[in-house]
């Protein structure tokens, strides 16, 4: 089994934290993993993208070829569109449905969502609102991971929960619990 995932968003949104959580779950499950990251021009506000390849077989490259990505997980809807050429015909897009307008020529929302809604397999949610309702306003990225959990298939939601506990353990039990609550909130 294999899963090729593109994680994307804007600097500061927590994309690399999602990659770290999935990677931790995969390593604990004995799954092969390769990752390549592209950071934007600034720490906050620039494009951030990560290729994450998981497989029960050896992986020979850390880059995902165009047309073969199984899953695009995007913190920002326009960023999801940027990586559509990589999506396979059976691929799924998981995205926030609230744009992060950080450039002057950001597309009109109706045009942006018309293109996204035309995709055969798309899951959208206002992840900031869900995170807020879960009591963790900084946990939108973990909400997004919760949305994607059932589509990952190669790692289970329980393995992801354990990885969240491991990754956030150094920040204390309250942070771990807040992130687990955000992860679970995506599926309620």
Tokens 């899951």, located at residue: 123
pLDDT at 162 over 70: yes
More confident call, 125 vs 40: 125
Q: What is the mean pLDDT of the chain?
A: 92
Q: What is the DSSP string of the chain?
A: -EEEEEEEEETTSSHHHHHHHHHHHHHHTT-EEEEEEE--SSTTTSEEEEEEEEESS----SSPPTT-EEEEEESSHHHHHHTGGGEEEEEEEEEESS----STTPPPHHHHHHHHHTSSSEEEE-HHHHHHHTT-TT-HHHHHHHHHHHHH-SS-HHHHHHHHHHHHGGG-HHHHHHHHHHHHHTT-
Can you give the pLDDT at residue 43? Answer: 54
Q: What percent of the chain has pLDDT over 70?
A: 95
pLDDT exceeds cutoff 60 at 52: yes
Residue 104 has pLDDT above 80, yes or no: yes
Q: What is the pLDDT of residue 142?
A: 97
Work out the pLDDT band at 42, boundaries 50, 70, 90: very low
**pLDDT tier at 123 (50, 70, 90 boundaries)?**
very high
The reported pTM is 0.92
Q: What pLDDT, in 10s, does the model give residues 77-97? A: 999 999 999 999 999 999 999
d(Cα 30, Cα 164) in Å, to the nearest integer? Answer: 17
């Amino acid at each position: 089994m294999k899963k090729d995932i593109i994680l994307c968003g804007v600097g500061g949104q927590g994309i690399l934290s999602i990659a770290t959580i999935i990677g931790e779950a995969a390593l604990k499950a004995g799954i092969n993993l390769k990752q390549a990251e592209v950071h934007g021009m600034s720490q906050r506000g620039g494009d951030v993208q990560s290729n994450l390849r998981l497989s029960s077989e050896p992986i020979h490259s850390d880059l995902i070829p165009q047309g073969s990505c199984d899953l695009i997980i995007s913190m920002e809807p326009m960023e999801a569109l940027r990586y559509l050429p990589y999506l396979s015909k059976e691929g799924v897009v998981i995205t926030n449905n609230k744009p992060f307008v950080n450039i002057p020529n950001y597309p009109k929302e109706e045009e942006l969502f018309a293109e996204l809604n035309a995709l055969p397999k798309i899951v959208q949610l206002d992840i900031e609102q869900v995170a807020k309702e879960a009591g963790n306003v900084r946990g939108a990225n973990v909400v997004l991971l919760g949305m994607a959990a059932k589509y990952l298939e190669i790692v289970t939601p329980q393995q992801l929960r354990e990885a969240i506990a491991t990754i956030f353990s150094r920040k204390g039990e309250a942070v771990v619990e807040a992130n687990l609550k955000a992860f679970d909130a995506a599926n309620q």
